[in-house]
Structure 1
Amino acid sequence: MLVRKFPVYLGALLLFFSCLSKKDNRIIASVSESDLFLSDILDEMPAQVEDSAYFVERYVNKWIREQLMVYNAEMNLSSHMKNYDKQIEDYRNSLLIYAYQQELLNQHLDTVIDKEDIESYYNQYIDQFKLTKNIFKGRFIVVNKLAPDIILLEKLVKSNKEGALDDLIDYCQQFAKEYYLEDDKWEYFSIFNEKLPELIVEEAYFLSNTKGVSFEDNVFRYYIYIDDYKLKGSLSPLDMERDKIQNVLLNKKKIEYLQQLEDELYQKGLALKKIKIY
């Protein structure tokens, strides 16, 4: 077996890369009967490569190592074990079909899923939507223990009076290290539990028996306000499942579109007499 690197000074050669055609057919390296052409390297070289010499050297070495593995595989495997023609053809066909399908989906598929369809799916399969974690609606705030107007903050955290939320948002924007005030949305309680100085082990008991509470460490005070909650194992609300259902319906839509495409192509092939069954 012959391995050859042709005596090309890569550094000097690279100075002329910008002037070379990507059809340049000079040989850079060879392994047995396989040749690596300069055009092959130029085709793979990024337009904004930082170190051209390093790229070429790495590319050549990688190519040589790969060709050596292929050469030895062909020499040492039995004819049965190295007969991959059908697998290669199947893989190529799969890649072509996938690329064509994706292009058609991008061009023609309407990806909008109606709100009514999501709600209908949720109601139809409602028994499948069980919570795997505890969820809650509420507020979570972390402030430095030396932050001003702590007493005011403690009132605002629990208040549902008109204007109180705006005042709370204003306070948090100025003084909070971290805050979550979207108390009209369901969220996993574990997300905030993990931020506390000490983990609440009995989440279900805590949610069932707590409205508003604070914790602290050496630097910060952590406020939690619970407006509503649902426990693990209970029915998961639609808002928690909406994105998941949308993806399910969108995938179903894609499958139906592609099946319809196959049927149309088949009928078109028959009509144009491009299909012959012997």
Structure 2
Amino acid sequence: MWWNRILVGSICIAILSSCDLFKIKTEEDPEDAIVASVGKINLHASDIDFIKKDNQSELDSAELVNRYIQSWIKKQLMIKEASKNMTLDEAEINRKLLDYRYALIVYEFEKAHVEKVLDRNVSLDEIEGYYNKHKENFALKEIIVRTNFLKLEKALPQKRQIERLLNSNRENDQMELKDLAIRYANNYFIEDSTWIKFDDIILNTPLVQNTNHVQLLKNNRIINVDDDTYSYYFKILEYRLQDQVPPLEFVRDEISKIIVNKRRVEHAEKLQREVYNKALENNEFRIYD
């Protein structure tokens, strides 16, 4: 899979950077300051330039540089200790490093090609088609709800009005409820069409103490709980329980990413076939019996 290639690439980069066995420079630049050393192995300022270039914040860069230097020192010390305590097969190590180098080259080439041709636009028809074909793959691991939520001060005079509006389904009343939530609620969530994890919406409310969320949702359309200072209201519009299939809206972004990643893999495989077939036509390789 594409992500496996990314993982391999990351591992290769870590190995190459730690061992200092691949160097473009053949002699040291006297103006290239040494920032750390272990024995005769030096880490130069130019070796960590990429950290500063990739980070705009000086504080972040300084912290990352320090972490990189510490990591580099630890790896060099481990290499030094390993060299003293075990017999190393230099030929085998060099062969593996060469394999890693070629894997990195191929990875960078494939990545550049795929990013150039990749279409990230995913239509609703594609998303719906994938959802209908793979519904069971999206079985929920947690409860999700569509809900109206308000956190109000217990002494608020408008509480009774808000309670009445919560029990109403009239469109005008829903608009008035949103207006009151904006004006008086300490916290609120009035998004009728948005699905959210139930554990997220009840966070920092007394409902976290309730251990039977399934029974709570099945038996109550309006849930009201209090603590010493606030009243919390939940109007449950709809819910899905664990192991049930979520609505398309809840997994739409996830499916879009899956489809784009599948395209990445397909483009990479297509590139490999094209390179192979072109070489085959031009007699660029030979297999011997």
Give, in angstroms, the shift of residue 43 of structure 1: 4.8
Gapped regions of structure 1 (runs ≥ 5): 1-21
The TM-score, its normalising length taken from structure 1, stands at 0.75
Structure with more of its chain in helix, by fraction: 2
Q: CA offsets, 1:252-271, max 9 Å, x none?
A: 21111110010111122233
- Within 1, Cα distance between the matches of 2:97 and 2:29? 27
Q: Cα gap change, 1:274/1:236 in structure 2, threshold over 3 Å: closer, same or farther?
A: same
Q: Equivalent residue of 1:163, what SS?
A: helix
The corresponding residue for 1:36 is 42
Letter matched to residue 265 of structure 2:
I
CA contact (8 A) 1:193 1:200 kept: no
CA contact (8 A) 2:119 2:260 kept: no
The corresponding residue for 2:103 is 94
Give, in angstroms, the shift of residue 246 of structure 1: 2.2
Q: CA offsets, 1:172-195, max 9 Å, x none?
A: 222212111112232222222333
Q: Equivalent residue of 2:231, what SS?
A: strand
RMSD: 3.5
- Within 2, Cα distance between the matches of 1:214 and 1:55? 48
- Within 1, Cα distance between the matches of 2:153 and 2:185? 7
Give, in angstroms, the shift of residue 170 of structure 1: 2.1
Of the three residues 185, 190, 193, the one matched with 1:176 is 185
The corresponding residue for 2:14 is none
Q: Cα gap change, 1:265/1:229 in structure 2, threshold over 3 Å: closer, same or farther?
A: same
Give, in angstroms, the shift of residue 67 of structure 1: 4.6
CA contact (8 A) 1:27 1:36 kept: no
- How many residue pairs get aligned? The number is 252
Structure of greater relative contact order (alpha carbons < 8 Å, 6+ residues apart): 2
- Within 1, Cα distance between the matches of 2:177 and 2:221? 17
Matched, 1:221 2:231: yes
- Within 2, Cα distance between the matches of 1:169 and 1:61? 53
Letter matched to residue 94 of structure 1:
A
The corresponding residue for 2:247 is 237
CA contact (8 A) 1:27 1:35 kept: no
The corresponding residue for 1:151 is 160
Structure 1 segment 9-24 matched on structure 2, within 5 A = 23-24=29-30
Gapped regions of structure 2 (runs ≥ 5): 1-27
CA contact (8 A) 1:74 1:82 kept: no
CA contact (8 A) 2:146 2:239 kept: yes
Give, in angstroms, the shift of residue 103 of structure 1: 1.9
Matched, 1:206 2:216: yes
The corresponding residue for 2:89 is 80
- Within 1, Cα distance between the matches of 2:222 and 2:90? 69
Matched, 1:251 2:265: no
The corresponding residue for 1:192 is 201
Give, in angstroms, the shift of residue 227 of structure 1: 1.7
The TM-score, its normalising length taken from structure 2, stands at 0.72
- Percent identity reads 28
Q: Equivalent residue of 2:186, what SS?
A: strand
Q: CA offsets, 1:104-155, max 9 Å, x none?
A: 2222100122211221222223344433322222211111223341222112
CA contact (8 A) 1:186 1:240 kept: yes
The corresponding residue for 2:6 is none
- Within 2, Cα distance between the matches of 1:122 and 1:221? 39
Q: Equivalent residue of 1:204, what SS?
A: helix
- Within 1, Cα distance between the matches of 2:244 and 2:213? 14
- Within 2, Cα distance between the matches of 1:58 and 1:150? 54
CA contact (8 A) 1:118 1:245 kept: yes
Give, in angstroms, the shift of residue 31 of structure 1: 6.0
- Within 2, Cα distance between the matches of 1:176 and 1:58? 45
- Within 2, Cα distance between the matches of 1:96 and 1:254? 17
- Within 2, Cα distance between the matches of 1:255 and 1:210? 47
CA contact (8 A) 1:141 1:223 kept: yes
Letter matched to residue 227 of structure 1:
L
Give, in angstroms, the shift of residue 218 of structure 1: 0.8
